[in-house]
Amino acid sequence: MSVRVRIPTILRSYTDGESEVGASGATLAEVIDDLEARFPGVKGRILDEQGSIRRFVNVYVGNEDVRFQEALQTPTEDGAQVSVIPAVAGG
């Protein structure tokens, strides 16, 4: 599955400044692995040492927070947009 991934400012040093990149994978976990293959280091910023999404990172597939879905096993359909967004906002 081919998806688009929105990259937050603090990860753009890994993507040559690109704010959106393409990636492939049938699940969010596969998409992140694909990103890591092309932009080494990015996975370690999104996931913690246990391989879970860091607690101050929000990841969305489409408009849905993956914590309301199947977390890293959330399916990523062809053409989906994945957004990685710092969680420290609001209030």
Partner 1 sequence: MSTSIIDTAAAVSPAPRPGAFGNATHLVCRECRATRPLGPHYACADCFGPLETGYDFPAVTRAEIEAGPKNIWRYQPLLPVPADITESRNMEPGFTRLLRADNLARELGLSRLWVKDDSGNPTHSFKDRVVAIALSAARELGMKVFACPSTGNLANAVAAAGARAGVRTVVLIPENLERPKILTTAVYGGTLVAVRGNYDDVNRLASEIAGEEEGWAFVNVNVRPYYAEGSKTLGFEVAEQLGWRLPRQVVVPVASGSQLTKVDKGFTELVRLGLVEESPYTMFGAQATGCSPVARAFKEGHDAVRPVRPDTIAKSLAIGNPADGPYVLDVARRTGGAVEDVTDDEVRDGIELLARTEGVFAETAGGVTVATLKKLIAGGRLDPDAETVVFNTGDGLKTLDAVADRVGPGSTIDPTYAAFASSVLGRPR
Question: What is the binding site for partner 1 (CB under 8 A)?
Answer: 6, 8-10, 19, 45, 54-58, 60, 63, 65, 67-68, 83, 85-91
| SS3 of the chain | CEEEEECCHHHCCCCCCCCEEEEECCEHHHHHHHHHHHCCCHHHHHECCCCCECCCEEEEECCEEHHHCCHHHCECCCCCEEEEEECCCCC
Residue number, 78 or 91, with CB nearest to partner 1: 91
Residue number, 6 or 26, with CB nearest to partner 1: 6
Residue number, 23 or 59, with CB nearest to partner 1: 59
- Nearest approach, Cβ of residue 15 and partner 1 (Å): 13
- Nearest approach, Cβ of residue 56 and partner 1 (Å): 4
